[in-house]
Structure 1
Amino acid sequence: MTAWDTEVDVAVVGGGACGVMTALRAARDPGRLVAVFEKSTREGCNAAISSGSLAAGGTRWQAAAGIEDSPKQHADDILRASGDEEWRPVVEALCAAAADLVEWIADTGYPIELGTDMPRAGMTARRLHTDTGRLGGARLMRHLRAVLETHDNVAFVDEAPVVNLVSHEGRAVGVVVSQNGSLQRVKADAVVLASDGFANAPALVEEHLPHLGTPFYGGVSTSTGDALAWALRLGGQLRNMGAGLRSGLVVVGHGTRVSPALPFNGAVLVNRDGERFVDEESKGYSSMAGVLRHQPGERAAMVWDATAMAATRESEMMRECLAAGAIQDRPTIEALAGSLSLTTAATERALTPLPGRRSLTAPYHFAWVTHGLLTTQGGLVIDPSGRVLNAEGEPIPGLYAGGGTACGLAGPHSDGYLSGNGLLSAFGMGWIIGDALAAVPA
């Protein structure tokens, strides 16, 4: 084989949630040299543009709030939504790790609280944990990368995209990195594919997700799915490639998103024909995207009032919407009807609360929302330890995957996605892989 330019114990492809967590856990072993190769922190990662909400069952915050939950209940909720029983071992492994990793993040100095005001469709308990101040995923990633900098045995290399996987006799043995205009061959005992998915790879999206139509793209530019082809050459397998993390909360003309908690505070969706076409609380924001796609003009007006605004306005999403001028205010039902191009009577009918729900009262707020694609959920088949499997179900030596590169938790369809699944699979698999690569007790 051609000579190597450098050698490490663990080469991590991608410095997002999965990659950083893998490095943090693996680096607990002082004898391990870990290198994280990040395509571009300037372009960002999906974790950084997320709400930063961490789903976990059985945490100390839930116990303090008197909320009964457990990893099993968490896993059962995910599998009920996805219908993907074949993936249960992976889901259960991630849910078993979730409470530990969220508490560990808090113990590194990150301010975490339980989002008791963050109900979500499909969850049988309030289990989304967020930062105090609700500043979102960017704050979380900055914190964890700062913690990573305290480890002398980790190199985080920015603007260093991996362009190929090196193998020998069926084993992953290193990566090829592009840096400063030259290619570097890096030998590694273990390679961890922790890059984002393929939502910004038009050819792959057209191949695997044509049923989504032409959604607004709300992910990062670096989600090009390069690692999938490398793993396939070594015998890796793909599954659930038709699933994506979608959003039915994208504000038309702005690209911001309103809060998923609005429907649980009385918000109503009204289409251009004046019809209330869905029970808003029955759909997660990913499955709502599919409903919106089939409405006239592929959009609808989300309408809410001051009570709902007070309950949600401190979320990162609502702050971004307000700053962008994406939310409109109307003082009366007549003014709202005029803005929706409906009669007052039709608007009143559309806003009639469903049984057990409260009535909205003037003044009103509204935004026209459409469907978007944030990231993909299909990817490589892995085992509960994060090892990439071949067609025979055997691990490919030296090769691990997590984050957007691995198959996610939505099942075969986007409707199976629950809030928090993305960061759960990314941080959770990073936690699991990193612990497996560290020769010290967890």
Structure 2
Amino acid sequence: MSGAAPCVVRSGKPQGAPWIPVAIVGGGACGLTATLMLADAGIECVVLERDAAPSGSTALSSGFIPAPGTRVQKARGIEDSAGQFERDIQAKAHGTAAPHLARAYARKIGPALDALEANHGLQWELLEGFLYPGHTALRMHAVPERSGAGLMSRLRRAADAAGVAVMTGALARELWIGDDGQVTGLGFLRPDGRMEQLGCGAVLLACNGFGGDRALVRELLPEMAEATFAGHAGNDGSAIAWGRALGARLADLGGYQGHGSWAVPQGVLVSWALMMEGAIQVNREGRRFHDETQGYSEAAVHVLAQPGGVAWNVLDDRLLAFAQEFPDFREAQSAGAVHRAPDTEALARLIGCSAGALRATLDSVRDGEVSTDGRRFTRALAPPYHAVKVTGALFHTQGGLDIDTQCRVLGRDGTPWPNLLAAGGAARGVSGNAVWGYLSGNGLLSAVAGGAIAARTATQWLTNKESP
């Protein structure tokens, strides 16, 4: 379905259109979490999904969700708290993450995962053995498949079991606003080009960010203007367009999640867990160029700044065995992205660099060594080596509609629309206004916690309203 039709705001209410208490734009993790929570509250809703099947940015992600205080985390004896998680969010963002959202999401994400488990059969596993950049406790949760596609599959099955209406092939393009300033409905394009309308009591915009709109990326994220976009086509800037048309407040538009490990030319993600376990990145000259343990988001910028905008991930047999636990790495292997080199000379030929320069780099990677960029190594890399050619990519944006702690969209003066909600990629996140503010998992944190909060807000709003 083409996304060429503009997003518009219309006055009044759709005439003769069916009515639903809540309409959700987008069927990713945010939209499906919200609809499952609404089902728990007995609130009828419909999800408008542009694709033939819900997937979105979630399906392209690792599917890992950070959360403190869950049943699973407690069962493993992990000491953690919402306060500690909030501090980690702010530490990664250098204190620039929206304080009200960092606190709200840190407090809500644990109960949200527990509710999805208890009420809808979502199975969570805690990733153990290593910490993702910026996290001070083991709190990364995943479904057994350890992939975003697996997470989406389980959320879809839960939605089907709950009897939730998911309308696919429905590209939302009209937002209707009544004379009193409240949202009254939506208009959406069908695959055959027809525009249909739907009246509703509340709208949740869960329609991703703007990473797929090249014009907006050039305007708002100029350093990523030429970068590969590795996200979903649904990141078309719909929320930004509606926000500008409404006179809504936008925030943190310079924040985004990049990734410094996008295999080329295969176009698949290679898990950053490798870097946390001892792998390194070298450029075409065979030299390291940043502290890989600081985070995969800012690594995108570092990689793009290297000759040719590429780097090589270098690992050994021990790390190869570890990497094969992750579906994205197995996919990269199947695609031919992982190359084997029996020794330093062969690895240098693969990379196209001086064997002497590469040997000096590898010799500096040893137990107890602290590099000039601050990385502390705990073991050497031993031949045979394995290497993956990668570039920096833009995955999804972290800025959008400004929202309050109830996920209500705010006007320029800070006044909320009572029944227009936004969460996930459509809203500002908790990564501040720059690439380095992204804490691992912030995207799905905002999606799942925001979806749960928005569902509660819609439920509270509708209890005081009458159907038309």
| 1:29–1:68 Cα change, 3 Å | closer
Counterpart of 1:142 in structure 2 is: 153
Shift of residue 41, structure 1, vs aligned partner: 4.0
1:364 to 370, 379, 385: 385
Shift of residue 85, structure 1, vs aligned partner: 4.4
Q: Normalization by structure 2: what TM-score?
A: 0.89
Counterpart-to-counterpart distance in 2, 1:231 and 1:213: 22
Q: CA offsets, 1:234-254, max 9 Å, x none?
A: 231111112211000011211
| 1:344–1:211 Cα change, 3 Å | closer
Q: Normalization by structure 1: what TM-score?
A: 0.94
> SS at the partner of 2:132?
coil
Counterpart-to-counterpart distance in 2, 1:269 and 1:241: 29
Counterpart of 1:81 in structure 2 is: 92
1:64-213 pair list within 5 angstroms: 64-85=75-96, 87-107=98-118, 108-134=120-146, 136-152=147-163, 154-169=164-179, 170-179=181-190, 180-213=192-225
Shift of residue 369, structure 1, vs aligned partner: 1.3
> SS at the partner of 1:392?
coil
| 1:4–1:84 Cα change, 3 Å | farther
Shift of residue 117, structure 1, vs aligned partner: 3.3
Counterpart of 2:260 in structure 1 is: 248
Aligned residue type for 1:165:
L
The answer on 1:22 being equivalent to 2:34 is: yes
Aligned residue type for 1:406:
A
Shift of residue 84, structure 1, vs aligned partner: 4.5
2:332 to 321, 328, 333: 321
2:404 to 374, 383, 404: 383
Shift of residue 227, structure 1, vs aligned partner: 2.7
2:295 to 284, 288, 293: 284
Is the CA contact 1:44–1:222 (under 8 Å) kept in the aligned structure 2?
no
Is the CA contact 2:285–2:354 (under 8 Å) kept in the aligned structure 1?
no
1:434 to 441, 455, 458: 455
2:429 to 370, 384, 408: 408
1:50 to 44, 54, 61: 61
Shift of residue 133, structure 1, vs aligned partner: 3.8
Counterpart-to-counterpart distance in 1, 2:246 and 2:142: 38
Counterpart-to-counterpart distance in 2, 1:269 and 1:436: 45
Is the CA contact 1:303–1:366 (under 8 Å) kept in the aligned structure 2?
yes
Aligned residue type for 1:347:
L
The answer on 1:397 being equivalent to 2:418 is: yes
Q: CA offsets, 1:18-61, max 9 Å, x none?
A: 1111111112233x321111111448300111111011012233
Percent identity over the alignment is 36
Is the CA contact 2:314–2:385 (under 8 Å) kept in the aligned structure 1?
yes
> SS at the partner of 2:452?
helix
Aligned Cα RMSD in Å? 1.8
Q: CA offsets, 1:387-411, max 9 Å, x none?
A: 0011111111320001111011211
Counterpart-to-counterpart distance in 2, 1:343 and 1:392: 59
Counterpart-to-counterpart distance in 2, 1:386 and 1:84: 21
Higher mean displacement: 95-104 or 420-429? 95-104
> SS at the partner of 2:409?
strand
Shift of residue 433, structure 1, vs aligned partner: 1.0
> SS at the partner of 1:63?
helix
The answer on 1:220 being equivalent to 2:241 is: no
Aligned residue type for 2:173:
V
Counterpart-to-counterpart distance in 2, 1:120 and 1:414: 16
Counterpart of 2:70 in structure 1 is: 59
Is the CA contact 1:333–1:362 (under 8 Å) kept in the aligned structure 2?
yes
| 1:43–1:130 Cα change, 3 Å | closer
Count of residue pairs the alignment pairs up? 437
Shift of residue 272, structure 1, vs aligned partner: 1.3
> SS at the partner of 1:47?
helix
Counterpart-to-counterpart distance in 2, 1:296 and 1:348: 19
Is the CA contact 1:62–1:127 (under 8 Å) kept in the aligned structure 2?
yes
Counterpart of 2:9 in structure 1 is: none
Counterpart of 2:394 in structure 1 is: 373
Counterpart of 1:344 in structure 2 is: 355
Q: Which runs of 5+ in 1 are unaligned?
A: none
Counterpart of 1:425 in structure 2 is: 446
Shift of residue 268, structure 1, vs aligned partner: 1.4
Counterpart-to-counterpart distance in 2, 1:26 and 1:60: 22
Higher mean displacement: 108-117 or 405-414? 108-117
Counterpart of 2:373 in structure 1 is: none
| 1:306–1:86 Cα change, 3 Å | closer
> SS at the partner of 2:200?
strand
> SS at the partner of 1:48?
helix
Shift of residue 198, structure 1, vs aligned partner: 0.9
